[in-house]
Amino acid sequence: MKLHLELNRRCGKIKPLHGVNNSPLRFRDEKIWEFEEAGIPFVRTHDTGWPFGFGILVDIPNIFRDFDAATDDPASYDFAFTDVFLRNLVNSGCKIFYRLGITIENFYNIKAYRTAPPKDFQKWARICEGVIRHYNHGWANGFHYGIEYWEIWNEPENPPMWSGTMEEYFKLYSTTAKYLKKQFPEIKVGGYASCGFYSVTRQDTTDFYKGFLRWFDEFLIDVKKENAPLDFYSWHLYTTNLDELIKHAEYVAMTLKKAGFYQTENIFDEWNFNDYSPNVFDKMKESPTATFVAAAFCLMQDSPIDKAMYYDADPSHRHGGLFYFPSERVTPTYYAFKAFNELYKLGNRIECRGIRSKNVFTLGAADEHSTAVLLVNRGNRCQCIELETAANLKRAKITLLDKEHVFVPVKSLLHGCKLTLPKECFLLLNIPLKETTVDGERKMSVESARGTGLDIAGLDG
């Protein structure tokens, strides 16, 4: 098995795939240091705080409590806690992906409180306008965050989220999207955060799941009929199958193009490992699932997905994968995000080719000073790898995550040009491309005139 890494051959940008939903709620702090260290690029504000948006956060009924109030009166809005929540994220270097709507009501069958369609769609759009003016244009003692992405509702196919009809949601979307784009041409609007397309890859799905495909098709027809903007289309998937993830991304891309939406972004804004076992919330925090997440980042880079947001990064619930519950101690899965961010910071992807394995995944990136390669082994056998490169491997650094190491530097894996890739692990290989001379000038440690290759030969597990 060989991997050829072209250190000087750039092939596009590393995409912002390590976004998340939500974060720790720290109203006494001014940033989320774990997000800053992991370079989380986007935070989606859906199900923030749970349940009912904690009664104070993000959701339209929490911000605009009396639907009969005047939309142009700052006193009609309660931004207090949402201000602090978003401020902490912005201070941490994150961009906001704002979901306009409500938090899921898992016990809607006992009583649903907020899942009904707004009684006046046009007024609901004006309320959303007030939210955008507050966070982007300083209205009502607000801010100038320049939030670009505004998502209209979440999973309207799902009864815990929407008790109206499909046609009613389509009307809400077209009314709101057209109005907001008229008021704020610079923003991006979209939806509808689909439950996903399980019946594309799973044969035993019920009519309920099969109906998600019809929703998608009919939605695109309605958007075109209403001449409504659709800057992005968002969708979800929970799986253990990396191939399924990519097939769903391709299905979304194909359906958008078939309907004529060539410029619409493909945004995967809820995803996670889920084997539906009783202890799945524990599994999603540990090293085997961390390798699933790291491998997903590698594969999504080659997929039609433009942005991705993992669900969830709130440590106050068991379904969050980045923090141990009920503490706020980071998990092995958190370090998959931190490792991928090292590639994202470098910016330019490097061509990787030649590897053939169902268990090994690679992705490389470089800037003018250094290169980083993310190597993932999801198999139960070590991989023996031989490195060939003009770069100075004596200065290479390896950071490893497996069952014994939680993303820590190791030296024992690299002997000369021989590298051992342990089973069920991921590692980050950092190779400096420049070194400082005595007089302080920078000098390339690899050939710059021609493309330089890194050959990796190993055993397929």
Give the pLDDT confidence of 22-79 residue by residue, as tens digits: 999 999 999 999 999 999 999 999 999 999 999 999 999 999 999 999 999 999 999 9
Do 3-8+348-457 and 15-346 share a fold? no
pLDDT of res. 411 = 86
Residue stretches of the chain with pLDDT short of 50: 436-461
Q: What count of other Cβ atoms lies within 10 Å of the Cβ of residue 359?
A: 17
Q: Which CATH number applies to 3-8+348-457? A: 2.60.40.1180
Angstrom CA distances, 9 to 349, 352, 368, stand at 8, 10, 12
Give residue 441's pLDDT. 43
Residue 355's pLDDT is 64
What per-residue confidence (pLDDT) applies to 357? 75
* Domain-wise residue ranges, the chain: 3-8+348-457, 15-346
State residue 412's pLDDT score. Answer: 87
Which residues are paired to 352 by β-bridges?
A: 5
Q: Cα angle at 244 between 6 and 341, to 5 degrees?
A: 45
pLDDT of residue 458: 35
DSSP conformational letter for 85? H
Give domain 15-346's CATH number out of 1.20.58.220, 3.20.20.80, 3.90.1150.10, 3.20.20.70: 3.20.20.80
Beta bridge partner(s), residue 146: none
pLDDT at residue number 344: 98
382 token code pair: 């070590």
